[in-house]
A and B are shown apart, each in its own frame.
Chain A
Amino acid sequence: ILNVEQSPQSLHVQEGDSTNFTCSFPSSNFYALHWYRWETAKSPEALFVMTLNGDEKKKGRISATLNTKEGYSYLYIKGSQPEDSATYLCALPNSGYSTLTFGKGTMLLVSP
């Protein structure tokens, strides 16, 4: 079973602040890394799937980077908005299977 760690556990920022979270994982036997956003009472929504060392992906104000050699990924949110308030989850597939092991998530609260 993979050990996927996320930090910080929670974060409270003001509207307009930029922020970032970290996902750490074992660097051996890497297949892919998934970032999800989970808003209260909604479905977890996939943000990015990253597979290659050095990958950088962007979706609006949210971007992510991947370093498979050292075993970490960063998720950045530029100019946070209240609608960004959610739990951000990082997950990796277990071996060659696609079942995912999730971190505990980072809960972000953006105040107006």
Chain B
Amino acid sequence: DTGVSQDPRHKITKRGQNVTFRCDPISEHNRLYWYRQTLGQGPEFLTYFQNEAQLEKSRLLSDRFSAERPKGSFSTLEIQRTEQGDSAMYLCASSLQVASDIQYFGAGTRLSVL
């Protein structure tokens, strides 16, 4: 399978705990994106990487969120001190380099914060 994979698919955690999600992009794609989708909304951009460089972060990304992409391969998204408002579907996508290029999405990680 050469698509985008995300792990875990589901995560249930208690408020205040830290969680980390992983995304493995399509291997030749140099851009990687994180989006968040809540009920009734379309996916909202969180952050993106070109290779290992984090080029843009949304205002939605509070200080409790951090993302990394070491060596320009897989990426991790960590949420510290989770809050109930963090409950959402977290989607990862990858693409080649131009605005018209298709972004290929993973199936997402659904986070539930109790």
Contact = CB atoms under 8 A, between A and B. Distances in A.
Interface of A: 4, 6, 31-32, 34, 36, 41-46, 49, 51, 89, 91, 93-94, 96-105
B102 A99 contact: no
Contact of A101 (B33, B45, B97): B45
Contacts of A34: 102-103
B100 interface: yes
Q: Is the interface of B mostly helix, strand, loop or mixed?
A: loop
B4 A100 contact: no
27 contacts: A31-B100, A32-B99, A41-B107, A42-B107, A43-B105, A43-B106, A46-B102, A49-B100, A49-B101, A49-B102, A51-B100, A91-B42, A93-B99, A96-B99, A97-B48, A97-B55, A97-B56, A98-B31, A98-B48, A98-B97, A98-B101, A98-B103, A99-B56, A100-B35, A101-B45, A102-B35, A103-B42
Given A99-B56, A103-B42, A104-B40, A43 B99 contact: no
Interface in B38-62: 40-45, 48, 55-56
Contacts of A100: 33, 35, 43, 45, 103
B111 interface: no
Most B CB contacts (10 A, CB to CB) among A34, A43, A105 go to A43
A31 B99 CA distance: 7
Contacts of B44: 102
A6 B43 CA distance: 13
Contact of B45 (A43, A89, A99, A105): A99
Nearest to B55: A97
Nearest to A41: B107
B91 interface: yes
A102 B43 contact: yes
A34 B35 CA distance: 15
Given A99-B48, A99-B56, A44 B99 contact: no
A104 B43 CA distance: 8
B100 A102 contact: no
B111 to A, nearest CB: 15
Interface in B15-51: 31, 33, 35, 40-45, 48
